[in-house]
Chain A
Protein backbone atom coordinates (compact mmCIF):
# COMPACT_ATOMS: atom_id res chain seq x y z
CA UNK A 1 0.00 0.00 0.00
CA UNK A 2 2.84 2.34 0.81
CA UNK A 3 4.30 1.76 -2.65
CA UNK A 4 1.19 2.85 -4.51
CA UNK A 5 1.39 6.62 -3.95
CA UNK A 6 5.09 6.59 -4.66
CA UNK A 7 4.69 4.71 -7.97
CA UNK A 8 1.83 6.93 -9.07
CA UNK A 9 4.32 9.77 -9.34
CA UNK A 10 7.28 7.85 -10.70
CA UNK A 11 8.65 8.77 -14.14
CA UNK A 12 7.09 5.59 -15.61
CA UNK A 13 3.58 6.35 -14.35
CA UNK A 14 3.84 9.90 -15.56
CA UNK A 15 4.95 8.89 -19.05
CA UNK A 16 1.84 9.87 -20.97
CA UNK A 17 3.35 8.81 -24.30
CA UNK A 18 3.42 5.14 -23.26
CA UNK A 19 -0.25 5.16 -22.25
CA UNK A 20 -1.24 7.20 -25.28
CA UNK A 21 0.41 4.55 -27.47
CA UNK A 22 -1.39 1.77 -25.59
CA UNK A 23 -4.73 3.53 -25.93
CA UNK A 24 -4.27 3.94 -29.70
CA UNK A 25 -4.73 0.19 -30.16
CA UNK A 26 -8.35 0.61 -29.08
CA UNK A 27 -8.99 3.65 -31.26
CA UNK A 28 -8.46 2.06 -34.68
CA UNK A 29 -11.13 -0.43 -35.84
CA UNK A 30 -8.56 -2.37 -37.89
CA UNK A 31 -6.14 -2.68 -34.97
CA UNK A 32 -8.92 -4.06 -32.82
CA UNK A 33 -9.89 -6.43 -35.63
CA UNK A 34 -6.28 -7.68 -35.55
CA UNK A 35 -6.56 -8.37 -31.82
CA UNK A 36 -9.84 -10.27 -32.25
CA UNK A 37 -8.38 -11.99 -35.34
CA UNK A 38 -5.34 -13.39 -33.54
CA UNK A 39 -7.67 -14.87 -30.93
CA UNK A 40 -9.90 -16.46 -33.56
CA UNK A 41 -7.12 -17.78 -35.78
CA UNK A 42 -4.46 -18.91 -33.30
CA UNK A 43 -6.38 -20.22 -30.28
CA UNK A 44 -6.11 -23.82 -29.20
CA UNK A 45 -2.41 -24.44 -28.62
CA UNK A 46 -0.61 -24.86 -25.29
CA UNK A 47 -0.36 -21.83 -22.98
CA UNK A 48 3.38 -21.32 -23.69
CA UNK A 49 2.62 -21.18 -27.42
CA UNK A 50 -0.15 -18.62 -26.92
CA UNK A 51 2.15 -16.42 -24.84
CA UNK A 52 4.80 -16.73 -27.57
CA UNK A 53 2.27 -15.78 -30.25
CA UNK A 54 1.01 -12.78 -28.27
CA UNK A 55 4.62 -11.67 -27.67
CA UNK A 56 5.39 -12.00 -31.38
CA UNK A 57 2.30 -9.95 -32.28
CA UNK A 58 3.14 -7.33 -29.63
CA UNK A 59 6.75 -6.98 -30.74
CA UNK A 60 5.81 -6.73 -34.43
CA UNK A 61 3.10 -4.20 -33.62
CA UNK A 62 5.62 -2.09 -31.65
CA UNK A 63 8.24 -2.12 -34.42
CA UNK A 64 5.78 -1.38 -37.23
CA UNK A 65 3.97 1.38 -35.28
CA UNK A 66 7.36 2.96 -34.56
CA UNK A 67 9.10 2.60 -37.91
CA UNK A 68 6.44 2.43 -40.65
CA UNK A 69 5.44 5.91 -41.74
CA UNK A 70 1.80 6.68 -42.51
CA UNK A 71 1.17 6.47 -46.24
CA UNK A 72 0.12 4.14 -49.02
CA UNK A 73 2.18 1.18 -47.73
CA UNK A 74 0.50 1.32 -44.31
CA UNK A 75 -2.90 1.88 -45.94
CA UNK A 76 -2.57 -1.37 -47.93
CA UNK A 77 -0.60 -3.39 -45.43
CA UNK A 78 -3.01 -3.05 -42.49
CA UNK A 79 -6.23 -4.34 -44.09
CA UNK A 80 -4.54 -7.00 -46.24
CA UNK A 81 -2.59 -8.56 -43.38
CA UNK A 82 -5.63 -8.50 -41.08
CA UNK A 83 -7.77 -10.04 -43.84
CA UNK A 84 -5.20 -12.86 -44.03
CA UNK A 85 -5.52 -13.41 -40.26
CA UNK A 86 -9.33 -13.53 -40.61
CA UNK A 87 -8.95 -16.03 -43.43
CA UNK A 88 -6.85 -18.17 -41.10
CA UNK A 89 -9.81 -18.24 -38.69
CA UNK A 90 -12.25 -19.09 -41.51
CA UNK A 91 -10.09 -22.03 -42.58
CA UNK A 92 -9.76 -23.16 -38.94
CA UNK A 93 -6.05 -23.77 -39.37
CA UNK A 94 -4.75 -26.30 -36.80
CA UNK A 95 -2.91 -24.38 -34.05
CA UNK A 96 0.57 -25.77 -34.68
CA UNK A 97 3.45 -23.36 -33.98
CA UNK A 98 4.57 -23.05 -37.60
CA UNK A 99 1.06 -22.32 -38.86
CA UNK A 100 0.10 -19.82 -36.15
CA UNK A 101 3.38 -17.85 -35.99
CA UNK A 102 2.90 -16.27 -39.45
CA UNK A 103 -0.67 -15.35 -38.48
CA UNK A 104 0.50 -13.73 -35.22
CA UNK A 105 3.16 -11.88 -37.20
CA UNK A 106 0.53 -10.64 -39.67
CA UNK A 107 -1.79 -9.58 -36.83
CA UNK A 108 1.02 -7.54 -35.26
CA UNK A 109 1.97 -6.13 -38.66
CA UNK A 110 -1.64 -5.13 -39.38
CA UNK A 111 -2.24 -3.62 -35.95
CA UNK A 112 1.01 -1.66 -36.07
CA UNK A 113 0.21 -0.32 -39.53
CA UNK A 114 -3.37 0.56 -38.54
CA UNK A 115 -2.32 2.48 -35.42
CA UNK A 116 -1.50 6.03 -36.29
CA UNK A 117 0.51 7.31 -33.37
CA UNK A 118 0.41 11.06 -32.85
CA UNK A 119 4.06 11.04 -31.89
CA UNK A 120 5.99 8.21 -33.49
CA UNK A 121 8.40 7.59 -30.62
CA UNK A 122 9.83 4.34 -29.22
CA UNK A 123 7.97 4.87 -25.93
CA UNK A 124 4.57 5.35 -27.60
CA UNK A 125 5.21 2.35 -29.87
CA UNK A 126 6.20 0.27 -26.83
CA UNK A 127 2.85 1.20 -25.27
CA UNK A 128 1.02 0.03 -28.39
CA UNK A 129 3.06 -3.21 -28.45
CA UNK A 130 2.39 -3.88 -24.76
CA UNK A 131 -1.34 -3.33 -25.25
CA UNK A 132 -1.25 -5.71 -28.24
CA UNK A 133 0.52 -8.35 -26.15
CA UNK A 134 -1.87 -8.16 -23.19
CA UNK A 135 -5.10 -7.99 -25.21
CA UNK A 136 -3.92 -10.81 -27.49
CA UNK A 137 -3.45 -13.08 -24.46
CA UNK A 138 -6.97 -12.19 -23.29
CA UNK A 139 -8.44 -12.81 -26.71
CA UNK A 140 -6.63 -16.14 -27.10
CA UNK A 141 -7.95 -17.28 -23.71
CA UNK A 142 -11.48 -16.17 -24.58
CA UNK A 143 -11.38 -17.75 -28.03
CA UNK A 144 -10.18 -21.10 -26.62
CA UNK A 145 -13.32 -21.26 -24.48
CA UNK A 146 -15.50 -20.32 -27.44
CA UNK A 147 -13.70 -22.85 -29.66
CA UNK A 148 -14.57 -25.69 -27.27
CA UNK A 149 -18.26 -24.81 -27.07
CA UNK A 150 -19.10 -23.36 -30.47
CA UNK A 151 -16.23 -23.81 -32.96
CA UNK A 152 -18.17 -22.56 -35.97
CA UNK A 153 -18.61 -19.15 -34.28
CA UNK A 154 -14.87 -18.67 -34.78
CA UNK A 155 -15.18 -19.30 -38.53
CA UNK A 156 -18.16 -16.93 -38.83
CA UNK A 157 -16.41 -14.18 -36.84
CA UNK A 158 -13.27 -14.74 -38.94
CA UNK A 159 -15.27 -14.14 -42.12
CA UNK A 160 -16.41 -10.82 -40.72
CA UNK A 161 -12.82 -9.83 -39.92
CA UNK A 162 -12.01 -10.46 -43.62
CA UNK A 163 -15.09 -8.50 -44.75
CA UNK A 164 -14.34 -5.54 -42.49
CA UNK A 165 -10.69 -5.41 -43.58
CA UNK A 166 -11.54 -5.45 -47.28
CA UNK A 167 -14.29 -2.85 -46.88
CA UNK A 168 -11.91 -0.55 -45.01
CA UNK A 169 -9.34 -1.12 -47.76
CA UNK A 170 -11.92 -0.06 -50.35
CA UNK A 171 -12.72 3.04 -48.29
CA UNK A 172 -9.05 3.89 -47.89
CA UNK A 173 -8.57 3.57 -51.65
CA UNK A 174 -11.30 6.16 -52.10
CA UNK A 175 -9.53 8.39 -49.61
CA UNK A 176 -12.22 7.94 -46.95
CA UNK A 177 -11.71 6.93 -43.30
Chain B
Protein backbone atom coordinates (compact mmCIF):
# COMPACT_ATOMS: atom_id res chain seq x y z
CA UNK B 1 0.00 0.00 0.00
CA UNK B 2 2.78 2.28 0.92
CA UNK B 3 4.37 1.58 -2.44
CA UNK B 4 1.21 2.69 -4.19
CA UNK B 5 0.78 5.78 -2.11
CA UNK B 6 4.08 7.43 -2.90
CA UNK B 7 3.63 7.73 -6.70
CA UNK B 8 0.11 9.04 -6.11
CA UNK B 9 1.45 11.62 -3.69
CA UNK B 10 4.14 12.57 -6.19
CA UNK B 11 1.52 12.97 -8.92
CA UNK B 12 -0.45 15.11 -6.50
CA UNK B 13 2.51 17.42 -5.87
CA UNK B 14 3.28 17.62 -9.61
CA UNK B 15 -0.34 18.57 -10.30
CA UNK B 16 -0.28 21.02 -7.39
CA UNK B 17 2.94 22.54 -8.68
CA UNK B 18 1.33 22.86 -12.12
CA UNK B 19 -1.61 24.66 -10.50
CA UNK B 20 0.79 26.99 -8.71
CA UNK B 21 2.27 27.83 -12.11
CA UNK B 22 -1.24 28.51 -13.47
CA UNK B 23 -1.92 30.69 -10.42
CA UNK B 24 1.30 32.59 -11.04
CA UNK B 25 0.39 32.75 -14.72
CA UNK B 26 -2.84 34.52 -13.84
CA UNK B 27 -0.84 36.90 -11.69
CA UNK B 28 1.55 37.42 -14.59
CA UNK B 29 -1.34 38.50 -16.79
CA UNK B 30 -0.78 42.24 -16.27
CA UNK B 31 2.68 41.91 -17.74
CA UNK B 32 1.43 40.44 -20.99
CA UNK B 33 -1.70 42.51 -21.06
CA UNK B 34 0.15 45.74 -20.52
CA UNK B 35 2.58 44.97 -23.29
CA UNK B 36 -0.33 45.53 -25.65
CA UNK B 37 -2.29 48.00 -23.57
CA UNK B 38 -3.68 51.20 -24.87
CA UNK B 39 -2.24 53.34 -22.08
CA UNK B 40 0.84 55.44 -22.51
CA UNK B 41 3.84 53.91 -20.77
CA UNK B 42 2.26 50.47 -20.43
CA UNK B 43 5.24 48.76 -22.08
CA UNK B 44 7.28 50.29 -19.25
CA UNK B 45 4.99 48.63 -16.71
CA UNK B 46 5.47 45.26 -18.41
CA UNK B 47 9.22 45.88 -18.40
CA UNK B 48 9.11 46.81 -14.70
CA UNK B 49 7.17 43.65 -13.93
CA UNK B 50 9.61 41.45 -15.81
CA UNK B 51 12.59 43.20 -14.19
CA UNK B 52 11.07 42.49 -10.76
CA UNK B 53 10.25 38.89 -11.69
CA UNK B 54 13.77 38.23 -12.93
CA UNK B 55 15.49 39.94 -9.99
CA UNK B 56 15.25 37.03 -7.50
CA UNK B 57 16.33 34.63 -10.25
CA UNK B 58 19.29 36.76 -11.35
CA UNK B 59 20.81 37.19 -7.88
CA UNK B 60 22.28 33.96 -6.52
CA UNK B 61 22.03 35.21 -2.93
CA UNK B 62 18.28 35.84 -3.08
CA UNK B 63 17.59 32.69 -5.06
CA UNK B 64 19.50 30.36 -2.72
CA UNK B 65 18.11 31.95 0.43
CA UNK B 66 14.48 31.69 -0.76
CA UNK B 67 14.82 28.06 -1.80
CA UNK B 68 16.72 27.29 1.43
CA UNK B 69 13.90 28.74 3.58
CA UNK B 70 11.45 26.35 1.91
CA UNK B 71 13.80 23.35 2.22
CA UNK B 72 14.59 24.02 5.89
CA UNK B 73 10.90 24.48 6.67
CA UNK B 74 10.11 21.13 5.03
CA UNK B 75 13.03 19.59 6.90
CA UNK B 76 11.72 20.84 10.25
CA UNK B 77 8.23 19.49 9.53
CA UNK B 78 4.85 20.78 10.72
CA UNK B 79 4.08 23.52 11.61
CA UNK B 80 7.36 25.17 10.52
CA UNK B 81 6.95 23.75 7.00
CA UNK B 82 4.42 26.51 6.39
CA UNK B 83 5.20 28.90 9.24
CA UNK B 84 8.70 29.76 7.92
CA UNK B 85 7.67 30.51 4.30
CA UNK B 86 4.64 32.44 5.60
CA UNK B 87 6.61 34.40 8.21
CA UNK B 88 9.40 35.28 5.77
CA UNK B 89 7.39 37.62 3.48
CA UNK B 90 5.39 39.06 6.38
CA UNK B 91 8.59 40.10 8.18
CA UNK B 92 10.34 40.89 4.89
CA UNK B 93 7.78 43.58 4.20
CA UNK B 94 9.04 45.42 7.32
CA UNK B 95 12.52 45.54 5.76
CA UNK B 96 10.91 46.47 2.44
CA UNK B 97 9.15 49.45 3.98
CA UNK B 98 12.42 50.56 5.64
CA UNK B 99 14.08 50.35 2.21
CA UNK B 100 11.29 52.23 0.44
CA UNK B 101 11.49 54.93 3.13
CA UNK B 102 15.28 55.02 2.56
CA UNK B 103 15.98 54.59 6.27
CA UNK B 104 19.53 53.38 6.92
CA UNK B 105 20.14 49.70 7.73
CA UNK B 106 23.79 48.69 8.07
CA UNK B 107 25.40 45.50 6.75
CA UNK B 108 22.55 44.58 4.41
CA UNK B 109 24.68 42.69 1.89
CA UNK B 110 26.58 40.94 4.70
CA UNK B 111 23.28 39.96 6.31
CA UNK B 112 22.02 38.52 3.03
CA UNK B 113 25.24 36.51 2.48
CA UNK B 114 25.07 35.29 6.09
CA UNK B 115 21.47 34.18 5.52
CA UNK B 116 22.61 31.94 2.65
CA UNK B 117 25.44 30.53 4.78
CA UNK B 118 23.33 29.99 7.91
CA UNK B 119 20.36 28.43 6.12
CA UNK B 120 22.68 26.18 4.11
CA UNK B 121 24.42 25.06 7.31
CA UNK B 122 21.10 24.47 9.05
CA UNK B 123 20.05 22.11 6.22
CA UNK B 124 23.47 20.46 5.93
CA UNK B 125 23.66 19.76 9.68
CA UNK B 126 19.95 18.77 9.77
CA UNK B 127 19.61 21.26 12.62
CA UNK B 128 16.25 20.84 14.33
CA UNK B 129 16.13 24.32 15.79
CA UNK B 130 13.46 25.18 18.36
CA UNK B 131 10.43 26.83 16.74
CA UNK B 132 11.03 30.26 18.23
CA UNK B 133 14.70 30.30 17.30
CA UNK B 134 14.05 29.13 13.72
CA UNK B 135 11.41 31.82 13.35
CA UNK B 136 13.64 34.53 14.84
CA UNK B 137 16.54 33.55 12.58
CA UNK B 138 14.47 33.48 9.40
CA UNK B 139 12.74 36.72 10.44
CA UNK B 140 16.05 38.52 10.97
CA UNK B 141 17.28 37.43 7.54
CA UNK B 142 13.96 38.41 5.97
CA UNK B 143 14.48 42.01 7.11
CA UNK B 144 17.79 42.20 5.18
CA UNK B 145 16.29 40.67 2.03
CA UNK B 146 13.27 42.95 2.28
CA UNK B 147 15.43 46.02 2.74
CA UNK B 148 17.48 45.17 -0.38
CA UNK B 149 14.31 44.77 -2.45
CA UNK B 150 12.65 47.82 -0.92
CA UNK B 151 15.67 50.06 -1.52
CA UNK B 152 15.55 49.20 -5.23
CA UNK B 153 11.84 49.89 -5.60
CA UNK B 154 11.79 53.70 -5.75
CA UNK B 155 14.55 53.62 -8.40
CA UNK B 156 12.65 51.15 -10.56
CA UNK B 157 10.92 52.60 -13.60
CA UNK B 158 7.59 51.06 -12.53
CA UNK B 159 7.84 50.36 -8.77
CA UNK B 160 4.43 48.73 -8.33
CA UNK B 161 4.91 46.37 -11.28
CA UNK B 162 8.46 45.63 -10.10
CA UNK B 163 7.19 44.78 -6.60
CA UNK B 164 4.49 42.49 -8.02
CA UNK B 165 7.05 40.68 -10.17
CA UNK B 166 9.57 39.97 -7.43
CA UNK B 167 6.92 39.06 -4.84
CA UNK B 168 5.34 36.43 -7.12
CA UNK B 169 8.63 34.86 -8.17
CA UNK B 170 9.99 34.86 -4.61
CA UNK B 171 6.83 33.09 -3.44
CA UNK B 172 7.28 30.49 -6.15
CA UNK B 173 10.90 29.97 -5.05
CA UNK B 174 9.68 29.25 -1.51
CA UNK B 175 7.21 26.73 -2.85
CA UNK B 176 9.97 25.17 -4.97
CA UNK B 177 12.07 24.87 -1.79
CA UNK B 178 9.20 23.18 0.06
CA UNK B 179 8.74 20.84 -2.92
CA UNK B 180 12.44 19.93 -2.85
CA UNK B 181 12.20 19.58 0.94
CA UNK B 182 9.69 16.73 0.59
CA UNK B 183 12.71 14.58 -0.31
CA UNK B 184 13.40 14.56 3.44
CA UNK B 185 10.77 11.81 3.70
CA UNK B 186 13.28 9.14 2.69
CA UNK B 187 16.82 8.33 3.94
CA UNK B 188 18.43 8.88 0.53
CA UNK B 189 16.46 12.04 0.10
CA UNK B 190 17.70 13.35 3.45
CA UNK B 191 21.30 12.70 2.39
CA UNK B 192 20.67 14.47 -0.92
CA UNK B 193 19.10 17.43 0.88
CA UNK B 194 21.96 17.71 3.36
CA UNK B 195 24.39 17.71 0.41
CA UNK B 196 22.36 20.47 -1.23
CA UNK B 197 22.49 22.36 2.09
CA UNK B 198 26.28 22.02 2.18
CA UNK B 199 26.41 23.39 -1.38
CA UNK B 200 24.25 26.35 -0.36
CA UNK B 201 26.51 27.01 2.65
CA UNK B 202 29.62 26.97 0.41
CA UNK B 203 27.87 29.41 -1.93
CA UNK B 204 27.12 31.57 1.13
CA UNK B 205 30.83 31.69 2.02
CA UNK B 206 31.64 32.59 -1.59
CA UNK B 207 29.08 35.42 -1.57
CA UNK B 208 30.35 36.58 1.84
CA UNK B 209 33.88 36.82 0.40
CA UNK B 210 32.63 39.06 -2.39
CA UNK B 211 32.23 36.34 -5.05
CA UNK B 212 35.93 35.97 -5.90
CA UNK B 213 36.73 34.81 -9.43
CA UNK B 214 33.52 36.18 -10.88
CA UNK B 215 34.74 39.53 -12.15
A35 proximal to B (CB < 8 A): yes
Interface residues of A (CB under 8 A from B): 23, 26-30, 32-33, 35-36, 39, 90, 135, 138-139, 142-143, 145-146, 149-150, 152-153, 155-160, 162-164, 166-168, 170-171, 174, 176-177
A168 and B13: CB pair below 8 A? no
A29 and B161: CB pair below 8 A? yes
Most chain A CB within a 10 A radius of its CB, from B23, B92, B158, B175: B23
* Contact residues of B: prevailing secondary structure: helix
A149 and B13: CB pair below 8 A? yes
Q: List 7 A-B contacts (CB under 8 A).
A: A29-B160, A29-B163, A36-B23, A156-B174, A164-B163, A167-B97, A168-B164
B12 and A142: CB pair below 8 A? no
Shortest Cβ distance from A103 into chain B, in angstroms? 17
Chain B contacts of A30 at CB under 8 A?
Answer: 160
Complex Cα–Cα for A174 and B100 (A): 8
B19 and A160: CB pair below 8 A? no
A171 and B19: CB pair below 8 A? no
Shortest Cβ distance from A87 into chain B, in angstroms? 9
Chain B contacts of A35 at CB under 8 A?
Answer: 26
Tier of interface size on chain B: 35 or more
Chain A contacts of B39 at CB under 8 A?
Answer: 27
Complex Cα–Cα for A90 and B88 (A): 12
Shortest Cβ distance from A43 into chain B, in angstroms? 11
Complex Cα–Cα for A158 and B88 (A): 12
Most chain B CB within a 10 A radius of its CB, from A33, A143, A146, A155: A146
Closest 9 CB pairs of A and B: A150-B16, A163-B89, A29-B164, A149-B16, A160-B171, A152-B82, A159-B86, A164-B167, A170-B97
A171 and B93: CB pair below 8 A? no
* Residue from the list A152, A170, A174 in contact with B178, Cβ < 8 A: A152
